[in-house]
Structure formats: C-alpha cells, structure tokens
C-alpha cells in the first residue's frame, strides 16, 4: 500500500477528531520532518498537541511552523511554547511588516491550516492534512471543522506515484514562503505583545460601548452586580473567565460538591443581564463542555451569600472527580456554550498574565487568597 485518502468531520457530537487525526499522522510512521502552516495558534491548543507529542516519535521530529499574527489573534505564549520546544523553529509571514501597524492588519492575509509530514531523503512515507481547523482548543476538540487527509506509504502504483509527485510539486510554495518570513525570537514576541496590547485596548473600547447599550443600570449597593458598569461591560465582552477554587461545601451525596462561589456580577460573562435580583435567583442555564463531553442545564445563580453560584458538571466520569483546589477556566464557544478546563491551583500563570495585561485580574477580597479574572484571546472568533 498505498495511497490513503480520507474526509474528516468534527463537531460537538464527534469531538476531538481533528486532534486525533493529527496524533495518528505523527505516530503512524517514522517521520523526521513536520511542516505546519496555521493561521491562529493558542496556548491551550498547543497543550493538547503537546500531549500527543510527549512520549511519541514527534519528540524527535524536526518542526517548522509558519504561523500568522494577523489581527493579533495568535497568543504570544503559544509562540513561546513553539520556540522553546526542542527541534522547533517558528516564522511569521509578513511578520515585520505587520508589527509596524497599530491594527496588526496584514497587507495579505495568511489563513492556511495545513500539516505536511515526510522523511528526509525518501519519497515515502508522506502525509498531508489540510482543512478548516486552527491550532486552538475549540478548533481541535469540539468546533465544527472539516479536513482532508492524504497519505502515501509502502509500494505505490503508477497512478499513486503520479499523484504523490503532483502533490509534492504543489507544496513548493512552502520553501519560498519560509525563506521570506520573519524569524521568531524573544525580541519579536515582545514587540508583538506590545502591539497586541494596544490593539486589545482599542477593541475593548469598541466592544464596551456596544455591551453597555445592552446592560441595565447598575446599583451601587451590595446587589447582584458590581457597582461599576464599565468594569462589568468588559467582563461581558471577554472571551475567557477563570476562577481559583479552594474547599467547597458539600451539596451532593458522599460529601461531593460542584457549586463554587464566584464574585457577584460574573453572570454577565455567561450572557445574563446585569439587573439587580433578590438572593437565590437563577439567572439562567448554560452548557459546559469538558474534554468534548457536554453537560447541559448548568445553572448560574445569585446565592443567599450575595455571590454568584456556578453549578458545574456532576463530579462523576467523564467529568472531573473533584473541583477542589483547582483553577477553572471557562472559554466561550458560542452563546450559552462554554468549554471548561481545569488546572491544579497554583498553575494557570498564562491565564493570569493575560488577565493582568488586559487589566482584569482581581482578588476575591476579604481574607480569601483566591483570584479570578477575564481576558480575550481572539479564539472565540476562530
């Protein structure tokens, strides 16, 4: 064999197909060279790919990445991860030109999502996957994405040899673009971070005016919303919300718990109004998705303690066994649908850094050491 051609379809009912296919590509043969051209990359998307590379042949593969920074959507920490990964080099098409523009708007948009795998000095094996998915958490897990996968290996027929020759010839664009693209180093990333901060401040001002129109007036008393409408409008416009969790009061059988307290006003991030409500009022329900598994009808409620109660998925497989001493990250995928990630408490430094850079990192106040925050990564629009 042969020439293998497949069409790949992913969605909420068939999650993680894209990620699984990438992993199979890397592990199936002793490839020595990976070339990836991706429009947008996030750190969370790379963490998923890292799990595939760890302990597989991918650790020994020479990796070359062409990544876009168009419109500031790629995360700087993702570029650092790629740069620090052994055997990996990163370049940015039109990178130096884009950094001179306050909007990070390119003259030519770079938008491919293609992975090439081959072996030095041999025609086969050779694989290519091209499709719609960027290297972000939602795109590689639950997002609706399509891709075409082609693979040549072993003895080929004359027709298969011809198709391989044609595809290899069509991939010559890579070498030309690679040589013309800007090399990424720490200095480049720092310049990109500065440009991205300026862009996000402008985007935040634009979004704020739109969101404020939809929010009801804010009281200045200890109600279900914060006293500052400007702050709450920024929370509503953010892509991501994280919350540190300590010990939880049991609300389920066998001493288990799934209802952490969040600051009042957090309901605006989940798409609910900013109007004042009496204690023990349910704002509404959302779907939380953990590792591709949806948990519908998760309530967001204003509790009797004047805090926002988040009802997480029941702590039974396939969901986490416990939420205590963790940091939770909620990423908006669509209205009413949020991807849930967990990390051990004390981690999540990149999330906190992103929130701090955008002026939305907070302490819970009082004697609590817990922190929470919001940030936008651009991933929601991918």
155 and 81 assigned to the same domain: yes
Mean pLDDT taken over the chain:
83
Phi, psi of 80, deg, nearest 5: -65, -40
Please tell me the number of Cα atoms within 13 Å of 77 on its side-chain side.
16
Residue 24 lies in a domain: yes
Low-confidence winner among 90-94, 164-168, 251-255, 378-382 (lowest mean pLDDT): 378-382
> What percentage of the chain has pLDDT greater than the value 90?
38
74 and 184 assigned to the same domain: yes
Per-residue pLDDT band at 212 (split at 50, 70, 90):
very low
- Domain finish residue from 145, 162, 195: 195
Task: Give the pairing type, strands 281-290 and 361-363.
Answer: unpaired
262 and 354 assigned to the same domain: yes
pLDDT of residue 223: 40
Q: Which domain CATH number covers 185?
A: 3.30.870.10
160 and 294 assigned to the same domain: no
Question: Domain residues for 35?
Answer: 3-195
On whether the pTM is more than 0.85, the answer is: no
Q: CA–CA separation, 10 vs 131, rounded Å?
A: 11
Residue 200 lies in a domain: no
- Determine contact, residues 294/362, Cβ cutoff 8 Å: no
Q: How many domains does the chain have?
A: 2
Q: Which domain CATH number covers 331?
A: 2.40.330.30
Mean pLDDT of 198-212: 55
149 and 222 assigned to the same domain: no
Residue 224 predicted with pLDDT over 50 = no
pLDDT of residue 211: 43
Q: CA–CA separation, 353 vs 359, rounded Å?
A: 10
135 and 241 assigned to the same domain: no
- Domain finish residue from 163, 195, 227: 195
Q: DSSP characters for 49-73?
A: HHHHHTTSGGGGSEEEEEE--GGG-
Q: CA–CA separation, 93 vs 97, rounded Å?
A: 9
Give the pLDDT confidence of 31-56 residue by residue, as tens digits: 788 899 999 998 878 877 766 655 44
Find, among 84, 311, 76, the residue nearest to 191 by Cα. 76
pLDDT of residue 203: 55
Residue 14 predicted with pLDDT over 70 = yes
Give the pLDDT confidence of 169-203 residue by residue, as tens digits: 888 888 999 999 999 999 999 999 999 888 766 65
Residue 243 lies in a domain: yes
Count of residues in the chain:
382
173 and 244 assigned to the same domain: no
Residue 216 predicted with pLDDT over 70 = no
155 and 71 assigned to the same domain: yes
- Domain finish residue from 195, 227, 244: 195
Considering just the CA atoms, what is the radius of gyration of the chain in Å? Answer: 23
- Looking at the DSSP assignment, which residues form a beta bridge with residue 262? 308
């Amino acid at each position: 064999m042969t020439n293998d051609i497949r069409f790949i379809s992913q969605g909420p009912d068939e999650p993680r197909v894209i990620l699984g296919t990438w992993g199979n590509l890397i592990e199936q043969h002793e490839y020595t060279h990976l070339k990836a051209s991706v429009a947008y990359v996030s750190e969370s998307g790379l963490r998923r790919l890292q799990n595939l590379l760890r302990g597989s042949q991918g650790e020994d593969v020479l990796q070359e990445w062409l990544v876009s920074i168009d419109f500031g959507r790629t995360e700087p920490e993702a570029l650092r991860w790629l740069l620090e990964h052994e055997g990996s080099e990163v370049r940015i098409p039109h990178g130096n030109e884009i950094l001179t523009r306050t909007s990070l708007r390119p003259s030519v948009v770079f938008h491919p999502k293609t992975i090439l795998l081959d072996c030095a000095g041999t025609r086969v094996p050779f694989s290519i996957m091209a499709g719609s998915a960027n290297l972000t958490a939602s795109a590689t897990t639950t997002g609706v994405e399509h891709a075409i996968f082609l693979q040549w290996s072993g003895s080929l027929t004359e027709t298969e040899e011809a198709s391989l020759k044609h595809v290899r010839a069509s991939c010559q664009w890579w070498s030309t673009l690679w040589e013309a693209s800007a090399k990424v180093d720490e200095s480049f990333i720092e310049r990109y971070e500065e440009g991205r901060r300026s862009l996000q401040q402008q985007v935040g001002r634009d979004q704020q005016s739109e969101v404020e129109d939809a929010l009801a007036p804010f009281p200045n008393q200890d109600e279900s919303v914060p006293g500052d409408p400007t702050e709450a409008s920024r929370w509503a416009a953010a892509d991501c919300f994280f919350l540190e969790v300590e010990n939880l009061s049991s609300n389920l059988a066998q001493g288990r718990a799934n209802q952490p307290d969040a600051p009042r006003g957090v309901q605006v991030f989940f798409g609910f109004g900013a109007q004042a409500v009496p204690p023990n009022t349910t704002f509404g329900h959302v779907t939380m998705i953990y590792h591709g598994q949806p948990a519908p009808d998760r309530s967001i409620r204003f509790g009797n303690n004047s805090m926002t109660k988040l009802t997480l998925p029941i702590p039974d497989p396939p969901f986490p066994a416990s939420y205590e001493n963790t940091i939770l990250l909620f990423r908006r995928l669509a209205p009413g649908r949020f991807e849930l990630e967990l990390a051990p408490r004390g981690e999540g430094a990149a999330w906190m850094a992103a929130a701090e850079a955008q002026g939305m990192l907070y302490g819970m106040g009082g004697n609590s050491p817990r922190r929470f925050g919001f940030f936008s990564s651009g991933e929601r629009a991918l």
